[in-house]
Chain A
Amino acid sequence: MITAAVPEREDYLNVSHGLKSWLLTKDHKRIGLLYLATITLFFFLGGVFATVIRIELLTPGGGLVSSETYNKLFTMHGVTMIFFFLLPSIPAVFGNFFLPMMIGARDLAFPRINLLSWYLLVVGGLFALFAMLAGGVDTGWTFYTPYSTTYSNTWVIATALGIFVAGFSSILTGLNFIVTIHRMRAPGMTWFRMPLFVWAHYATALIQVLGTPVLAVTIVLVFCERVFHIGIFDPALGGDPVLFQHLFWFYSHPAVYIMILPAMGVVSELVSTFSRKAIFGYRIVAFSSVAIAVLGFLVWGHHMFVSGQSLFAGMAFSFLSYFVAIPSAIKVFNWTATLYKGSISYATPMLYAFGFIGLFTMGGLTGLFVAALGIDVHVTDTYFVVAHFHYIMVGGAIMGYMGGLHYWWPKMTGRMYPEGWAKLSALVIFLGFNLTFFPQFILGYLGMPRRYHTYPAEFQILHVLSTAGASVLAVGYAIPMIYFAWSLRYGKVAGANPWGATGLEWKTASPPPLHNFDKIPVVTHDAYDYSTVVGEAVEVG
């Protein structure tokens, strides 16, 4: 029998070839992959800094690096992880790739600006990288004045300039998302039919657009004082050092929600897909994202209880901080309620979703501890705070990121990852994470300050546990790097909808064609209506 050769189906990956086709692409999906490669490199770099920090802390004497080098290490760990990995992570990779697909659009509203924002991140990253190679920066990722403006002899301006440029990447991405969600929804895709991932990104984009410019202004002011000695923050020149902290945290507290809200959006998709139920209380979960974005702007002073901020302002900020707990708790309770009587399957993305819910809850509840004026005075600048924000940023945001990466990997690449290895690594990451950071809660409560590389001998056992956990965590992150690379060639070919999920991104081929859909879909159902996918292939391990 003679059969004609089947022509290779055209998708966004094989439609054009060569470096130029990637570096000048306007396709949101390819730009998403450019971001994925970029932030993976920065994640690795930040991880290297963390590794040296944890090895240094194995012994109380601090023999591995000098105090000055240690200051640079934790600064560069923070700068790299926050500005060049976490802030772009989920929005720039999965938001870019899937937000247009989820609302039935062919691309983002401004494809060229989208590419520009990737270049801005790269240029900002190169500035920061230059500063690190030239000698590093030692101010802490917070750049507090007067140290950053007057005393530090390290590469403050180069690093700050990198963050300044990368900030515009974030603003433009946010702007693109807002316009896309307003203008590009498919016929029938009403606001309350949008997946909760899209709602979460809408809220995130509001923060990116409203908050990031203030960071840019603050960096310019630091520059003006450091270089031209214009009195903004230095009392000797007529300035106020606490003003820096106000401006910095006006952006940097909401920035935590730029990291966690998209992860919450991912978790909403995962919990629904793997319990095959609509999210309990869809509208309240959607509104809670917007509420977190708005309330997140009213609480920044809780970072400044011991800064010299007035006690009255401290009380006001402490009081306001508790309000953020309400929409956060709504999400956790509603995800849990969604599981009730759901048809739950324990595929890898769902394991990450469970990890997120548990770890985010611990990070959030310890957030209430540090929002309380009295307790915060005791634990300010201790490892308790370090543990708290790592439970939010690593236990929350990175768990969401890893969950999303596994969930959408078949759509992005057309291949399945190996489920057994993936489950194993999810478990290793969960155990390694807790072993790393839980001892830090105890360390901090006992009085171990952050940013010190020598400490009293009685803290050593907890530091050794933490370093052991970090080693386990490193293995947990290394395994996916290997099997994802392996799956590109050897992974099982994925169908259009391997999870039996409801989102529009699953209604098109894997990997998707260049313009996402052969025909723009017409939406006739609410999000998470599983009656629409009855009978579709489910390849849940």
Chain B
Amino acid sequence: MTEHIDSIRTYALVLLALLVLTAVTTLVAFVDLGEFSVVVALAIAVCKMLLVALFFMHVRHSTKLTKLVLLGGLLWLVILLMLTLSDFTTRGWIGVPGR
């Protein structure tokens, strides 16, 4: 199996993008977006994660099995967050008798 190697230029651009996104995260933290603060911060974090995984970790040129492993990990993270939030967001839905 031959390893695909990206050019130095590509890596430099990805590094630059990561640094810019880090700066954006910091700057946004000083702006009051209300509920959307978390959404924006997480959206930027997901972009950075994708850049690292696809370029630095070579997932872009990896086998389908490697991509499946990555998707599996992400799916499990979604399970953890979704089912935990199924508790947190619904605590007011059904009242507890006596309270």
Interchain CB contact (< 8 A) of B90 among A210, A242, A246, A313: A313
- A317 contacts which chain B residues (CB < 8 A)? 83
- Residue of B84, B90, B92, B96 contacting most chain A CB atoms (<10 Å): B84
Q: Number of contact residues on B: which range applies?
A: 10 to 19
- A304 contacts which chain B residues (CB < 8 A)? 87
Scan B78-99; emit 1 where CB is below 8 A from any A CB, else 0: 0110011011101111101000
Given A246-B84, A313-B86, A316-B86, A297 and B76 contact (CB-CB distance below 8 Å): yes
- A313 contacts which chain B residues (CB < 8 A)? 83, 86-87, 90
Interchain CB contact (< 8 A) of A250 among B80, B86, B92: B80
Report the Cα distance A298→B80, complex, angstroms. 9
- B92 contacts which chain A residues (CB < 8 A)? 310
Scan A151-162; emit 1 where CB is below 8 A from any B CB, else 0: 000000000000
- A316 contacts which chain B residues (CB < 8 A)? 83, 86
Report the Cα distance A300→B80, complex, angstroms. 10
Are B73 and A246 in contact (CB-based, < 8 A)? no
Report the Cα distance A182→B69, complex, angstroms. 13
Are A240 and B94 in contact (CB-based, < 8 A)? no
Scan A246-258; emit 1 where CB is below 8 A from any B CB, else 0: 1100100000000
A116 interfacial contact with B, CB 8 Å: no
A228 interfacial contact with B, CB 8 Å: no
- B90 contacts which chain A residues (CB < 8 A)? 310, 312-313
Q: Which A residue sits closest to B94, measured CB to CB? A: A311
A136 interfacial contact with B, CB 8 Å: no
Q: Number of contact residues on A: which range applies?
A: 20 to 34
Are B84 and A297 in contact (CB-based, < 8 A)? no
Identify which of residues 305-330 in chain A touch chain B, using a CB-to-CB cut-off of 8 Å: 309-313, 316-317
Q: Which B residue sits closest to A217, measured CB to CB? A: B80
A243 interfacial contact with B, CB 8 Å: yes
Report the Cα distance A316→B85, complex, angstroms. 12
Identify which of residues 205-226 in chain A touch chain B, using a CB-to-CB cut-off of 8 Å: 210, 214
Q: Which A residue sits closest to B79, measured CB to CB? A: A297
A301 interfacial contact with B, CB 8 Å: yes
Interchain CB contact (< 8 A) of A242 among B72, B73, B86, B87: B87
Report the Cα distance A304→B87, complex, angstroms. 10
Given A210-B72, A210-B73, A210-B76, A310 and B83 contact (CB-CB distance below 8 Å): no
Identify which of residues 27-63 in chain B touch chain A, using a CB-to-CB cut-off of 8 Å: none
Chain A, interface SS category: helix
Chain B, interface SS category: helix
Are B86 and A312 in contact (CB-based, < 8 A)? yes
Report the Cα distance A317→B83, complex, angstroms. 9
Are B87 and A309 in contact (CB-based, < 8 A)? yes
Interchain CB contact (< 8 A) of B93 among A250, A298, A312: A312
Q: How far is the CB of A261 from chain B (nearest CB, A)?
A: 17
- B84 contacts which chain A residues (CB < 8 A)? 243, 246-247, 250
Interchain CB contact (< 8 A) of B87 among A210, A246, A297, A298: A246
Q: Which B residue sits closest to A214, measured CB to CB? A: B80
Report the Cα distance A247→B73, complex, angstroms. 16
Report the Cα distance A243→B65, complex, angstroms. 33
Report the Cα distance A297→B77, complex, angstroms. 11
Report the Cα distance A242→B88, complex, angstroms. 9
Interchain CB contact (< 8 A) of A310 among B73, B76, B87: B87
- B94 contacts which chain A residues (CB < 8 A)? 310-312
Report the Cα distance A298→B84, complex, angstroms. 10
- B96 contacts which chain A residues (CB < 8 A)? 311
Q: How far is the CB of A220 from chain B (nearest CB, A)?
A: 15
- A297 contacts which chain B residues (CB < 8 A)? 76, 79
Report the Cα distance A298→B93, complex, angstroms. 21
Q: Which B residue sits closest to A242, measured CB to CB? A: B87
Q: How far is the CB of A306 from chain B (nearest CB, A)?
A: 11
Q: How far is the CB of A208 from chain B (nearest CB, A)?
A: 13
Q: How far is the CB of B1 from chain A (nearest CB, A)?
A: 12
Q: Which B residue sits closest to A316, measured CB to CB? A: B86
Report the Cα distance A310→B90, complex, angstroms. 6
- B80 contacts which chain A residues (CB < 8 A)? 214, 246-247, 250
Are B76 and A301 in contact (CB-based, < 8 A)? no
Report the Cα distance A312→B88, complex, angstroms. 10
Q: How far is the CB of A42 from chain B (nearest CB, A)?
A: 29
Report the Cα distance A520→B43, complex, angstroms. 51
Q: Which A residue sits closest to B73, measured CB to CB? A: A210
Report the Cα distance A317→B76, complex, angstroms. 16
- B91 contacts which chain A residues (CB < 8 A)? 310
Scan A500-515; emit 1 where CB is below 8 A from any B CB, else 0: 0000000000000000
Scan A229-265; emit 1 where CB is below 8 A from any B CB, else 0: 0000000000010110011001000000000000000
- Residue of A243, A310, A311, A317 contacting most chain B CB atoms (<10 Å): A310
Binding site for A on B (CB under 8 A): 65, 72-73, 76, 79-80, 83-84, 86-88, 90-94, 96
7 other contacts beyond A310-B87, A311-B94, with CB at 8 A cut-off? A242-B87, A246-B80, A247-B80, A300-B83, A310-B86, A313-B87, A317-B83
Question: 5 shortest A-B CB distances, which residue pairs?
Answer: A313-B87, A312-B90, A311-B94, A310-B91, A310-B90
Please, could you name 27 A-B residue pairs with CB atoms under 8 Å apart, sorted by A? A210-B72, A210-B73, A242-B87, A246-B83, A246-B84, A247-B80, A247-B84, A250-B80, A250-B84, A297-B76, A298-B79, A298-B83, A300-B83, A301-B83, A301-B87, A304-B87, A309-B87, A310-B88, A310-B90, A310-B93, A310-B94, A312-B93, A312-B94, A313-B86, A313-B87, A313-B90, A316-B86
